[in-house]
Amino acid sequence: MTMTPPAPPEPDDGLPPLHRRAVLQFGDAGRPGEDAGIRREITLAAEVPVALVFNGISHAVMMATPRDLEDFALGFALSEGILDRADDCRGIDVEVIDAAAAGLPEGMPGVEVRLEISVRSFERLKHRRRSLAGRTGCGVCGVESFAALDLSPARVHAQAWASRIDLPVVLRAIDGLRARQTLNAEAGALHAAGWAGLDGALVDVREDVGRHNALDKLLGLLARTGRLDAPGFAVLTSRGSHELVRKCAQLGVQAMATVSAPTAMGVQMASLRGVALWGLCRPPRAVRYAP
């Protein structure tokens, strides 16, 4: 699908994606002071509440790493069907809200990401919110019924070039992912979503403490830069769950490869939507589960 992106966002300001903290480490036998623990400083990934606000109405609060939040918000809005196209978003503003103003515990600030969206998209969002109000939940993801899970939308329009995404291409992308995970290299607690070309070379990588967030950041970046139609595929450090497959299919992604195994529903979703799903991608092997 062709999308005209909004103007490139300003860089994130305010909250750092990583924190340093003093800890006590145990288990280093023979080191002086081991009985009381060895004091050292470590790096931790930031995890903050991010409120996604559409035309002044707060729609969702997600726990996320405070980096690339404009891409995250746009990717979420597209992959969840709030927007049809990137140009349905007229603008994005990010503001750090201090803990007291946000009603959060001391030392835990929040972030508001405010999106101005088209009238058509906003009317649809309001209708969706009304349909959620007052219903008895089925217990799955907080939706009001099984049908609301949106598990069987249209298939991805197949591209001839997708057949070139084979084992060597997938493994090259997987093999290059670790070196591009700069935040995870320091904190060890972040997922990554990358975009690879048909040669397996990684073009872009986004990181977040949440696997869904990392993918939404990547999809938002691709939409913002008008590259959702570009030949390539998504590479993820997570398992292949049905939500991740659905998000990729929603935006026409032809193929995805994950480090861990998929779920049964993830494989079924990929089969129904026409997404090539690779999993357990651990050189020298990988498994293609669908089609």
Q: Which residues are catalytic?
A: 138
Q: How far apart are CA 82 and CA 95, in angstroms?
A: 21
Measured torsion, CA atoms of residues 238, 84, 142, 99, in degrees rounded to the nearest 10: 80
Q: How far apart are CA 262 and CA 278, in angstroms?
A: 8
Say whether 263 sits in a helix, a strand or coil: coil
Q: How far apart are CA 25 and CA 31, in angstroms?
A: 11
CA distances from 207 to 106, 169, 188 (A): 26, 22, 11
The answer to whether 135 and 144 are in contact (CB under 8 A) is yes
Give, as one character, the DSSP assignment of residue 34: G
Token pair 């050189």 is at which residue? 283
